Structure formats: C-alpha cells, structure tokens
Amino acid sequence: MIAQIVKIDADALLSTDSNILNTLFDGPVRALEADEAIGMPTETVYGLAANCLRPCAASKIFKIKNRPMDNPLICHISSVEMLKPLVDPEFLSNIPERVQEVMKEFWPGPLTLLLPAHPELPECVTAGLKTVGVRFPAHKVAQELIARAGFPLAAPSANLSGRPSPTTAAHVFNDLHDRINWIVDGGNAGVGLESTVVDLLSNPPMILRPGGITQAMLKRIVPDIIVYRQKKQQQSGDCDENGGVVIDESKPPTPGMKYKHYAPTAPVWLFALKSPTGSVVDDSKNISPLIETYLRVHAQGKRIMRLCVTEGVDFEASESVQNIYLSRTGDMVEIAHNLFGGLREADESCPDVIVAEAVNEEDEGLAIMNRLIKSAGEEIIIL
Ligand code: TXA
Ligand code: MG
C-alpha cells in the first residue's frame, strides 16, 4: 500500500468544474464509505479521518496511528445538522445559550467543544466518556469532503502517536504512506497548532487544550473560563497571568494530555529566563548568550539545530549550530504556524539536540508553550 495524494485547492473549489471536482473527491470519498481512514486537510493540522458512526471505521484510526484506545477522538462536522448523530438528543433540543453563542462565534473554526455524547456513538470514539469532542473545521476542502461523505468524520492529527502533528500533506505521507490509501492535499495548514479544546459543561468552564482560539477571545462570551494546567506546566502561583485560576488535578480531564507528544527523535532542550515577576519569559534580557554558555558546558561537540523565534540571535561560535527560523520578527501567529514543521525539519538532519526557547505565554503564546513543553518532555531549563 502506498498513499495517493490528491491535490485540491480550497480557493479554486467554487470555480472548478463540477466534473473535475467529482473526479478529485471520488477516491477519498469512496474510501471513507468503505470504512477506511484517509488523510484530510484542516486549518489547524492534518487529520486522519474516518466515519465516526461506524466502530469498524473509527477503530482503524487507533491501529494506524498506534494510538492508545483510552484517548478519545474529535468528530468533525460540515453543518450544525450533523450534530444529530453525535450529541445527546435531549441536550440538542435545548442547547444552553452560552454554548450556542460560542458555536455561532467560533464555528466554523479551530475550536473543539465537549458536548454530551449520543448514546449510540461508538465507544472507541469517546473512549467510554460521557462527552464527545466536536469540531466544525473552517477549511473549505475539509467541509466539502465531510459533506460529500455525508457523515461526520472522527479525526485525530494524522501523525504517528508521539510525533509532531502534520501541517502539510508531505508530513502525513512521511508518517503514514504505507498505512493509508489516500491523502487529500489542501495546502499548508494555516493555524499550525491543533484546535482549542473547551469544556463548557464543567463548572467553571475550562480550556483543556490551548489553541488558536485564545482565552481572551473566549472570555468575551464566557467571562469565567479558566485554563486547565497540569502541575508540571505550572510556573508560578495559583493564578495564571490572564486572571484565570489554574487547577491541578492528578487525573487530566483530557486523556490525551498524559501521553508523550510532539516529540522529534532528537531531545528538545527548551530554555527560558525566569523574570522577577515569576513568568518564564523575560523580554528585557537576551537569552542567547546564556544558552550559548550552557551549550558550551553541556553539549560540547554535539550537533545542534536551533529553532529561532526572531532574527539577530546568532551564537558567536556557531559552527555546530544550525538555525531554523519559526519567525524572524517574533510574531506569535507565525511561530504557531511554523512550529511543527520546524520540529520535523530539525529532526530530519538527525542532530544530537534541538534547542528551543520559551515564548511569552500570552494569547497564542500559551498554545505554543503547551506544545513546546510537551516536545521537551515536560522539562524547561531555566537560566
Ligand atoms: O485541530 C484539531 O483538533 C485536530 C484536527 C485534525 O482537527 N485534531 C486533533 O485531534 O488534534 P487529537 O486526537 O490529536 O487531539 C484530540 C484531543 C486529545 O487530547 C483528546 O484526549 C481530547 O482532544 N479529547 C477528545 N475528546 C474528548 C473528550 N470527550 N473529553 C476530553 N478530552 C477529549
Ligand atoms: Mg494529536
């Protein structure tokens, strides 16, 4: 088996002849109808998609990715009507106003909502939980694919479990080419990080996984929303900088959180400067010379790939260090967009160490740090 890549341009969807479109979508849609899993573009990262209403289809996703069975899947819809087979009918007939408002504001888009699951939804999709994660992707090719299939698609990120999520069809091909038949190539994933996962049913409502939809954006509709953080990611006090309470529970409410994530083969060393205010990033100082001194002691003779978030940070003795720029200006949206691709690119040259530095955890920075900390095995080297 070797995956076929079908290129479909989101911008050209409306202007493309319908016969051509039918031909392009034919193979992938037939595969979905035959309970296969395929690669699907979305605006966040590429997904490994299969019919979430059929256990024999959804369960293939776990096998293909080597995904632990206790980690539930997100279901993708292309219309609000598609919630019907996914969500508890009683809840659906009386959706709380706040949930409706959030749907209206952020769907389609990079936001996953936990909703009470339909009793007939396959157990492997929810991993036996009472809730189901639902997302209405903004990517036009994803919407078209789901609409043509006619059923919602379960889709985790289309990487082998533990690897950085894929943001291009080529990343999906690298990981899964001998395990799936089709990859729909809809171009580079725009956001670059997975969706924000939100639980509005809990009290207080919680962001379980930070993403492109930030806490500040959600607070406009849900003022009391807080960010869930595990103890190890907690850097200071009991309040986060955005005024949300940080809770610590030994059992994460998102099963996926407990697994190794986003990890290239080479170890990632994540550096930060602790500022007097307790935040992990101190913008007033240049961290580069301190990283360089650290590497001289701890990584002598090692080949190093460095993920840079701004220009002008070269080390003095830079022969053994190669730079990859996630951004040249420190722009957070750009850093998010390039992070997973950068981790994969760094890994390709088989370095001994990948060096990254912390970014400010405000807004999009929170999601970036969440992924960076996971890729670094939950360790930050504070200088
Ligand atoms: O942007 C995204 O969300 C991408 C694209 C493909 O849509 N998908 C994605 O799926 O990131 P995945 O499986 O890699 O991450 C889903 C996360 C996991 O951490 C999982 O534990 C959590 O969402 N999750 C899913 N359903 C849940 C539920 N019912 N309760 C708690 N957590 C849930
Ligand atoms: Mg994933």
Please indicate whether residue 133, judged by its CB atom, sits closer than 6 Å to ligand 1: yes
Please indicate whether residue 254, judged by its CB atom, sits closer than 6 Å to ligand 1: yes
Lowest mean pLDDT among 43-47, 240-244, 261-265, 270-274: 240-244
Beta-carbon count within 10 A of 35 CB? 15
Least distant ligand from the CA of 165: 2
Confidence of residue 195 (pLDDT cuts 50, 70, 90): very high
Q: Which two tokens stand for residue 361?
A: 């955890």
Of 361, 307, 314, the residue nearest 339 (C-alpha): 307
Cα–ligand 2 centroid distance for 32 (angstroms): 20
Give the per-residue pLDDT at 67: 92
Q: In this structure, which residue's CA is closest to atom 8 in ligand 1?
A: 156
Q: What share of the chain has pLDDT > 70, as a percent?
A: 89
Please indicate whether residue 51, judged by its CB atom, sits closer than 6 Å to ligand 1: no
Give the per-residue pLDDT at 317: 60
**51, 60 Cβ separation under 8 angstroms:** no
Beta-carbon count within 10 A of 352 CB? 13
Structure confidence by residue, pLDDT tens digits, 301-316? 899 999 999 987 777 6
Q: In this structure, which residue's CA is closest to atom 33 in ligand 1?
A: 254
Of 74, 97, 83, the residue nearest 151 (C-alpha): 83
Mean pLDDT of 169-178: 98
Confidence of residue 318 (pLDDT cuts 50, 70, 90): low
Residue type (1 letter), 360:
N
Distance CA 26, CA 180 (A): 16
**212, 193 Cβ separation under 8 angstroms:** yes
Mean pLDDT of 91-120: 98
Please indicate whether residue 109, judged by its CB atom, sits closer than 6 Å to ligand 1: no
Query: What is this structure's pTM?
Result: 0.92
Q: What are the DSSP calls for 201-240, one per residue?
A: SSSS-EEEE--SS-HHHHHTT-TT-EE---GGG--SSSB-
Mean pLDDT in the chain? 90
Give the per-residue pLDDT at 178: 97
Please indicate whether residue 202, judged by its CB atom, sits closer than 6 Å to ligand 1: no
Of 240, 188, 283, the residue nearest 370 (C-alpha): 240
Confidence of residue 160 (pLDDT cuts 50, 70, 90): very high
Highest mean pLDDT among 237-241, 298-302, 314-318: 298-302
Q: Which stretch of DSSP H or E encloses residue 241?
A: none
Cα–ligand 1 centroid distance for 126 (angstroms): 10
Give the per-residue pLDDT at 235: 45
Cα–ligand 1 centroid distance for 182 (angstroms): 22
**343, 326 Cβ separation under 8 angstroms:** no
Please indicate whether residue 126, judged by its CB atom, sits closer than 6 Å to ligand 1: yes
Residue type (1 letter), 162:
G
Q: In this structure, which residue's CA is closest to atom 15 in ligand 1?
A: 156
Please indicate whether residue 114, judged by its CB atom, sits closer than 6 Å to ligand 1: yes
- What's the sign of the alpha-carbon dihedral 96, 100, 106, 112? positive
Give the per-residue pLDDT at 277: 64
Give the per-residue pLDDT at 79: 98
